[in-house]
Amino acid sequence: MKQALVVGGDSVLGSALSEKLRQHQWNVLSTTRRKTSDPNNGFFLDLSQDPSFWKIPAHPDVGFLLAAITQVKECEKNPVLSSVVNVTNTLVLAQKLLEKNIFTVFSSSSLVLDGSVQYIGISAPVNPQVEYARQKAIVEAHLLKMKTSACVIRFPKIVNSHDVLFQGWIRDLKKGIPIFPFSDLNFSPISVGFATDVLVEVAKRKTCGLFQVSAEEQISYADAAFYLAKKLNISEKLIKPLSGKTQDPLLKLWPQYTILDSSDLIKKIGLKIPKIDNALDTILTDGMN
């Protein structure tokens, strides 16, 4: 039986991935920084501390590096602490895994690209606009320079049926309360189910290198809200689109184009690039109930 180590087992992606790996008959070990977690179900690891002396549990075939400070605002506010977690100690851990010949998968972000070009290819230079993305870009570059058995995947927004923003919209819409989604912010989301399919396929094949994936179209957050309201049979009049870029200086840096050229990865792992509906319908699996 293959064994995986999921670093950041409590993350949205990590918990869904652990479940998917088990469905594919993998033995899954995961890390947690929550001291209250069941010690049998998670190996304690806090990446704000140097993991040099952390003992890798058992000998996994694959290690997934998913733990991170993921909030763009938090990274902007605390660049030093977030860099310790997201860069310095992530790289120390990566090095440890790679030294033991454990195939290592790093979850990066589409935000390492500035989104000024449509369908941007994998060879385009990175141009991160926010601290979170700068940190991802540094880890990407180091891992790829190591030329070892590592895989870096740039993900777009990954959505799931518990997403706070979208479930908040659905709750308000159902109560007849207006919502104010941004009309000038685009995204090309994928569902957490598709993201975990990608990670499992990459792990099975030990596909090395830099890859990226996104939905095959882009949509504004406002249009996503209209889509959800229509599906829920709720009046579109409750949707009051706003400009995000005039609300928040950070949002001014949001990419104009969010579709990534995913062909390299898709060719290698044999999955189909998903349509946006696939992700938006995932949001509704709870919202419909």
Q: Which residues bind ligand NAP (CB under 6 A)?
A: 8, 10-13, 33-34, 45-48, 66-70, 85, 107, 109, 155, 157-158
Q: Which is nearer to ligand NAP, 13 or 94 (CB)?
A: 13
* Residue 140 backbone dihedrals phi, psi, to 5 degrees: -50, -55
Could you say which DSSP state residue 262 is in? -
Q: Which is nearer to ligand NAP, 11 or 218 (CB)?
A: 11
Give the containing element (helix H, strand E) for 97: helix 89-99
Q: Which is nearer to ligand NAP, 15 or 183 (CB)?
A: 15
CB of 192 to ligand NAP, least distance (A): 8
Q: Could you tell me the sign of the dihedral formed by the alpha carbons of 164, 169, 173, 178, in that order?
A: positive
The separation between the first and the last C-alpha atoms of the chain, rounded to the nearest angstrom, is 37
Could you say which DSSP state residue 86 is in? I
CB of 46 to ligand NAP, least distance (A): 4
Assigned token pair, 170: 């659905």
Q: Which position's Cβ is nearest ligand NAP?
A: 11
3-class state of residue 107 by DSSP = strand
CB of 107 to ligand NAP, least distance (A): 4
**Triad 159, 162, 165: Cα angle to 5°:** 70
Q: Which is nearer to ligand NAP, 135 or 207 (CB)?
A: 135
Q: Which is nearer to ligand NAP, 14 or 181 (CB)?
A: 14
CB of 157 to ligand NAP, least distance (A): 5
Q: Which is nearer to ligand NAP, 68 or 229 (CB)?
A: 68
Count Cβ neighbours within 10 Å for each residue of 28-47 and write b for 16 or more, e otherwise: bbbbbbeeebeeeebbebeb
Cα(1)–Cα(223) distance, rounded to whole angstroms?
44
Number of Cβ atoms within 10 Å of the Cβ of 53: 7
Strand pairing class (103-109; 62-65): parallel
CB of 154 to ligand NAP, least distance (A): 7
Q: Which is nearer to ligand NAP, 22 or 174 (CB)?
A: 22
Q: Assess contact for 91 and 136: CB atoms under 8 A.
A: no
CB of 178 to ligand NAP, least distance (A): 26
CB of 35 to ligand NAP, least distance (A): 10
